[in-house]
Amino acid sequence: MHSLVFEDLLVMMAAALVAALLLRRLGLPNILSYLLAGCVIGPHVTGWVGEPESFAFVAEFGVVLLLFSIGLEFSLSRLLALRGSVFGVGGFQVVLCALLFGAAVYLWGTTVQAAVVIAGALALSSTAIVIRELSSLGQLHQRHGQLAVGVLLFQDLAAIIFLILVPVLAGAEEGGLASEIATALLRGAVLFAILMSVGKWLLPPLYREIARAHSEEIFVISTLVIVLLAAWLTHGFGLSMALGGFVIGMMLGESSFRHQIDSDIRGFKDILLALFFITIGMDIQVDLLLDYWPRLLLFAALLMLVKTALIALVVGLTGEDRYTALRCGLNLAQSGEFAIALLALGQLSGVVPADHASFIVLVAILTMAVSPLLLRYSERITPWLLHTLGVAPPVAAGIPREAEIHQGGHVIVGGYGRIGRVLAGLLEENQVPYIAIDNNVAVVDRARAEGRNVLFGDSANLQILRSCHIDSALLAVLTFRSLEQARAMIAQMRSVGINTPVIVRCHEQGHVRELLSLGANRVVPEMQEASLAIGAQMLELLDVDHSVIRQQLEARREHHGDVS
């Protein structure tokens, strides 16, 4: 038995690897690769893995981690800053789409309970795809991008409601459905208050103590235990375990430890999420695709058309021009990863029949596959659609790309010691935004108490730098403990296409030319510069001519390879 499980696991991971490598060339997200791999190896195609139910626990835990990761990306401060688009546009969009899609699938022949779950799944969009594409295109701070982010934030809030409803719908009779839902919402509110209190008062000091251990293993284990405890607590309240993961992710997403948490558990999380989406793919009844592919394509097209139209209508009612409204609609036209997770929960709970879940998942996959293209070419598609509808595009649509709002524009300061504080002070005096990173929790706490933008993390970790948007930063000043670490980090940054100018500060000296050849723009050997500064002061007190001092210092910099 153990041998069979091991072989199935090997087949699943190998299939995921092959699919990800192939679909990556097409620019499609890994989620689709894993779903495709699951379809191929599942019992409905090759049968290489004949019993997907053996991995049901992995699937459920994968949902918890998926919602935890979505929660980490949730931002209460951004929600308040965008409250107009969040509660106005987002609220109307979710309600209208849910009512329309719920009525449609109920007439299709589902139960009321299944209609609620499916409507919730279809009303929400893909946060991962939209944020990634808008960020890479430099459109997050354009008006249509801000509106899209606001709607996605409300969708994250709506996700909490749907997560509360799934287990209730599984056990409720239609006659007492209203009272069951009211009771569940009350339990959810109590649970939310408990987890909010834990996240605000208990987790910060706990993570400060964990951070002092300076151990990635302890960080990973601690985070997993916290997520599992939250899932266990929500399960004890009779609610979905995924709800606990999402709420605790929201709480940790507001802390200074967020980036380090995300970085430390990313590998573990990604593997489990890959297994989760593979198990979902194995449950997809592929014969539906073969028998009903015209209907699937039609449903996918209708879903994207209706969502685009409804979102554009709601945005237009807020006073935005038609161009912005339509681009926002195109941004959010797809279904998303939450739809797949919600349908998986619905199927595991017995609320949504397997064939219905498979059909809707296939529709969601088709919309997610098309979505990156819609996002990338919405600037061209929108004027064409407006012209087709007989509407003249506004003047704002013709603004050239170089006049668009510049993304990033900040400086990353790695290390917030004495030098880091000086650099941050200079940046503040010159009104240049910055993000400082330090792995000393006491330093971070003091700096944040003073109102400084300092986060906990290791600046020698590429994932931490990515979470600080190094791709769009003006400059990064990074401190490394050793030359080996500096070499590895600079080489890794340049190999993945990060072209941000970097000033490297090393405690050691030597090999400066090598770091410059790897891609560093400036290199400052800390000990050497300190000794040269002391030497300059010494020679001045000895009345040596300033020009002679300058020549001698430059000669020593050249001798040690500091040609920056």
Q: Band the pLDDT of 291: cuts 50, 70, 90.
A: confident
The residue ranking higher by pLDDT, 110 or 564, is 110
- For residue 253, name the pLDDT band (cuts at 50, 70, 90): confident
**Signed CA dihedral, 27, 31, 34, 38: sign only:** negative
> Using only C-alpha atoms, what is the Rg of the chain?
27
Contact 351, 169 (CB under 8 A): yes
Under the banding of pLDDT at 50, 70 and 90, the label for residue 511 is low
388 Rama class: left (phi>0) / alpha (psi -120 to 50) / beta = alpha
* 64-68, 99-103, 555-559: least confidently modelled range: 555-559
State the Cα angle at 410 between 404 and 411, rounded to 5°: 150
Read off the pLDDT of residues 145-185 as tens digits, 9 standing for 90 and up. Answer: 878 888 888 888 888 888 888 888 877 655 566 777 788 88
Runs of H (alpha helix) within 45-111: 56-73, 76-81, 83, 91-108
263: Cβ–Cβ under 8 A, 6 or more apart, which residues? 457, 458, 461, 463, 464, 467
What is the rounded CA–CA span in Å between residue 50 and residue 283? Answer: 11
CA atoms within a 13 Å half-sphere pointing along the CA-CB vector of 344:
34
Q: Mean per-residue pLDDT for 104-125?
A: 90
The 10s digit of each residue's pLDDT in 177-217 is 677 778 888 888 888 888 888 887 888 888 888 888 888 78
Q: Domains in the chain, please, with CATH?
A: 2-384 (1.20.1530.20), 411-559 (3.40.50.720)
Residue 192 tokens, joined? 């939310």
Looking at every residue in the chain, the average pLDDT score rounds to 81
Q: Which of 15-24, 234-243, 297-306 has the lowest mean pLDDT?
A: 234-243
Report the percent of the chain where pLDDT is more than 90. 12
Residue 7 has pLDDT above 90, yes or no: no
Residue 118's pLDDT is: 93
Quote the pLDDT of residue 392: 62
Task: Decide: helix, strand or coil at residue 480.
Answer: strand
Model confidence pLDDT, tens digit, residues 119-147: 999 999 987 788 777 766 767 667 788 78
Written in H, E and C, the secondary structure of 262-275 is HHHHHHHHHHHHHH
3-state secondary structure of 319: coil
pLDDT band at 304; cut points 50, 70, 90:
very high
Tokens of 310: 């409804």
Q: Of 147, 34, 39, which is closest to residue 90 (Cα–Cα)?
A: 147
Is the pLDDT at 558 greater than 80? The verdict is: no
Q: What is the mean pLDDT of residues 67-84?
A: 71
**Could you tell me if 498 and 469 are in contact, meaning their C-beta atoms sit under 8 angstroms apart?**
no
Which pLDDT band holds residue 400 (cuts at 50, 70, 90)?
very low
What is the per-residue pLDDT for 408? 57
Neighbour count for residue 217 (Cβ, 10 Å): 9
Res 401 pLDDT > 50: no
Across 183-187, 273-277, 309-313, 351-355, the highest mean pLDDT is recorded for: 309-313
Tell me how crowded residue 537 is: count the other CB atoms within 10 A of its CB.
11
Query: For the whole prediction, is pTM greater than 0.75?
Result: no
Residue 58, pLDDT > 80, answer no
Give the per-residue pLDDT at 174. 55
Instruction: Identify the pLDDT of residue 136.
Output: 67
CA distances to 88, 190, 199, 256, 268 from 220, rounded to whole Å, are 38, 28, 17, 16, 9
Q: How confident is the model at residue 508 (pLDDT cuts 50, 70, 90)?
A: low
pLDDT tens-digit map of 326-379 = 999 999 999 987 888 888 888 888 899 888 888 898 899 889 888 888 888 888
Is 331 in contact with 264 (CB distance < 8 Å)?
no
For residue 395, what pLDDT is reported? 47
Nearest CA-CA partner of 360 in 375, 381, 377, 345? 345
What is the Cα–Cα distance from 121 to 43, expressed in whole angstroms? 25
pLDDT of residue 496: 83
Q: pLDDT above 70 covers what percent of the chain?
A: 88
Which is more confidently placed, 150 or 402? Answer: 150
Indicate if the pLDDT at residue 301 is higher than 90: yes
Q: Helices (DSSP H) in 318-440: which residue ranges?
A: 322-331, 337-348, 354-376, 378-388, 418-429
**pLDDT for the residue numbered 306:** 94
Which pLDDT score is estimated for 235?
A: 84
What local confidence, expressed as pLDDT, does residue 288 receive? 77
